[in-house]
Amino acid sequence: MGRIGRFIDERLDVSPLVRAFLDRRMPGNIGWFHTLGSATLFLIVVQIVTGIALSLSYVPSPDHAYQSVLFIDQTPFGALVRAIHHWAAGLIVLLMGLHILRVFIWGAHRYPRELTWMIGAGLFFVVLGFAFTGYLLPWDQKAYWATVVGTNIAGAAPFIGGAILEALRGGEQLGAVTLARFYGIHVWVLPAALLLLVGLHLFAIVRQGIAASPRRRPLVETEPGLSRRETYAREYAAEKRAGKPFWEAILKDAIVAAVLTVVLLALALGPGAPLEPQADPNITNYVPRPEWYFLDLFQLLWYFTGNLEPLLIFLTFTLASLIFIFVPFLDRGRHRHPRQRPVAMGLTAVVVVGVLGLTYLGASASPPGVVRVPPTEGMSGPELGGLQVYNEQGCSACHQILGIGGQAGPDLSRAGRRFEEADMRRQIVTPQNDEMPAYDGLSQQQLDDLVEFLKSLR
Amino acid sequence: MDEHRVPGRSSSGPVEPGATISSPAGGDPAADETAQARAELSRRNFVLRALAFIGGGIAAVLGIPVIGFSSAPGWQARAPIRLLSTSIVPTLRSSALTSVGRVADFEVGVPQYVKVDRPIVDGWVAENAPVGVHVVRTSETDVTAFDPHCTHLGCPLAWSTGSRSFVCPCHGGSFNSDGDVIAGPPPSPMIRYEIQVQDGEVFVGALQERA
């Protein structure tokens, strides 16, 4: 300790605290997967620092928001800082998801760390709140339309949905009041919640110690008759004796933070932060798509239709959130090792595959109404003519052929096998159900070609 | 918390409250201590309760205006009280009558997208702002007008001439030229504008959101 260190320590007496923090023992097997949490925390700090910097030049008003973002991008380092803020936001969602997965697979949400998990779950929702409110601030097309969709999803809640929607938007319409509110929530309300929850999360981690890696058999044999608390205390003490000091683990955290910094700089200097044209509430040919981390939810909304749709949206999101928050009380067997929890691991795999699958579908789905099915080699003259009719009449708005087009109507990829020719003709010109508009203005030639084309799809 | 624990009965059996105070001389010192500890404990409880009471009072007095103000847009304009959302579309509202052209300008059955400047109030902003309207002439004399947003989640609706429908780019919802749902997830028809035709000129009024 240098002279300055001694000067401070004689007055504040902090060295015992520092020693207790750095030298406390931890279980062994604390590896690279354990850095996911600290990496998330590191990115949160990055967001606070870059966010404060951005707020120095940003104006939360529809008249000036977009222009102030352009101004930021033209100021030295401005585009870099904004791009870091943009990419770190996505990385936080990614790393947080992996951190949650790691904790669950390791069984670290089990006794006595249930509260740590629940505080962490709260942090997850706060982070999604940051993403959702931060979206709107640049006031570009993506910002505006993502907020239209997002506030409407919140408005789907039964009974109080309307009040929630209007409290979020600051009224029925989306405009100046909405932007000011989202800015206030993004820079004051959520940061306050974030700091509180991060503090509680870290407090809980330091008080309980980091969970030992799951073992198929505990390190020490415990006698029957001991309470859960005593059994746990013995096992954890044995884990700590066989473990290492905390300062050993920080090195890995620091290395990960350094790597993340390089990744962030590469993303910020490479692709940079996107900025679409200024928000235009009256545009009709814009195709709203959310950031990748909301694509799974966005895609999910394809599958809810009808009058019960708002209720289904609400129930699905609420149920999923409640299960996520209270999972420590649902997954509570004797064993922590993943191999001894086949049901929990199976369900986890289903969730992971579901999220990845929906994200992929959302990312690859072509927007309806604007796509054309390309011709393939070997198509006959009438078939090509039919394809042209298909594209001109905008059939892709509702129908899909080999993954191209909308999903409102039946998939026509195998129309030639699924439908009889006479049925096709009747359905096109005089549909029996009112699901499909009647295409009674086609010429006989056009109809013949179209049917020829559809018959060729096998 | 240990220093406040009342010693067990083993010392001198049950002690009457206040007993030691009335017998200052020659009293049982253990009982004396116990009574003092009890007095301290009840005072401690009193102070803690008082703290909770004062804190709760301050929080309520300051919290009501703060939370009331922050949530005001959620309830101030909601008279008569209606809980379910009727405001899917993000459109800037205007109740003025605004001309969108003459009936003769429109072809029967073919929607036309018109942008007109309308007087709007957006929080502290009161100005003329462009508002987009899908105008459909339904007969020689009749015209309807729709807000260009999907009733599913509010995405922008464009008229697709090929499929003769309004198609939503978000989740494939589609509407016919009457604004009725023909496919996809939208739960209700497109939202109409109030329409007035005066001497062949078409005026749009307020959005007809509440049936």
Same domain? For B119 and B202 the reply is yes
Over residues B152-160, the mean pLDDT reads: 90
CB proximity B90 to A under 8 Å? yes
Over residues B188-196, the mean pLDDT reads: 93
Same domain? For B71 and B103 the reply is no
Mutate to test the interface with A, among B113, B163, B177, B209 (most CBs of A within 10 A): B163
The pLDDT value given to residue B27: 62
CB proximity B148 to A under 8 Å? yes
CB proximity A223 to B under 8 Å? no
The CATH number of the domain holding residue B146 is: 2.102.10.10
Give domain status of residue B139, yes or no.
yes
Question: CB neighbours (10 Å) of residue B77?
Answer: 11
Which chain B residues contact residue A398 at CB under 8 A? 163, 172, 174, 183-184
Same domain? For B103 and B30 the reply is no
Q: Are B206 and B194 in contact (CB under 8 A)?
A: yes
How many Å apart are CA A424 and CA A427, to the nearest integer? 5
Same domain? For B104 and B30 the reply is no
- Cβ of B87 and A398 within 8 Å? no
Choose one of B75, B109, B140: the last residue of a domain.
B75
End-to-end CA distance of chain B: 64
Same domain? For B121 and B182 the reply is yes
Same domain? For B105 and B196 the reply is yes
Same domain? For B107 and B202 the reply is yes
Same domain? For B42 and B126 the reply is no
* Domain region containing B148: 98-207
Give domain status of residue B85, yes or no.
no
Q: Which of A174, A177, A394 sits opposite B163 (nearest CB)?
A: A394
Contacts (Cβ under 8 Å, ≥6 apart) of B160? A369, A394, A397, B166, B167, B174
Q: Among A47-56, B112-121, B174-183, which is the least confidently predicted range?
A: B174-183
The pLDDT value given to residue B38: 87
> What is the average pLDDT value for chain B, to the nearest integer?
83
How many Å apart are CA A47 and CA B96, to the nearest integer? 44
Beta-carbon pairs below 8 A across chains A and B: 194
pLDDT band at B83 (very low <50, low <70, confident <90, very high): low
Same domain? For B102 and B164 the reply is yes
Query: Which residue from A276, A262, A219, A263 is spatially nearest to A242, judged by alpha carbons?
Result: A219
Same domain? For B113 and B197 the reply is yes
Give domain status of residue B145, yes or no.
yes
**Total number of domains in chain B:** 2
- The complex's ipTM? 0.80
* Sheet strand arrangement including B201-207: B98-102, B201-207, B193-198
pTM confidence score:
0.84
The pLDDT value given to residue B82: 56
The pLDDT value given to residue A28: 87
Tens-digit pLDDT string for chain A (458 aa): 689 999 999 999 999 999 999 999 999 888 899 999 999 999 999 999 999 999 999 999 999 999 999 999 999 999 999 999 999 999 999 999 999 999 999 999 999 999 999 999 999 999 999 999 998 999 999 999 999 999 988 888 877 888 888 889 998 899 999 999 999 999 999 999 999 999 999 999 999 999 998 988 888 887 788 888 998 999 999 999 999 999 988 999 999 999 999 999 999 999 999 999 999 999 988 888 888 888 888 888 877 766 777 788 888 889 999 999 999 999 888 788 999 999 999 999 999 999 999 998 888 765 554 456 778 778 888 888 888 888 777 787 778 887 777 766 788 888 888 888 888 888 888 877 656 777 777 888 888 999 999 988 88
What pLDDT, in 10s, does the model give residues A141-151? 999 999 999 99
Give domain status of residue B103, yes or no.
yes
Domains belonging to chain A, first-starting first, are 14-364 (1.20.810.10), 381-455 (1.10.760.10)
Same domain? For B174 and B109 the reply is yes
Q: Are A399 and A361 in contact (CB under 8 A)?
A: no
Same domain? For B119 and B198 the reply is yes
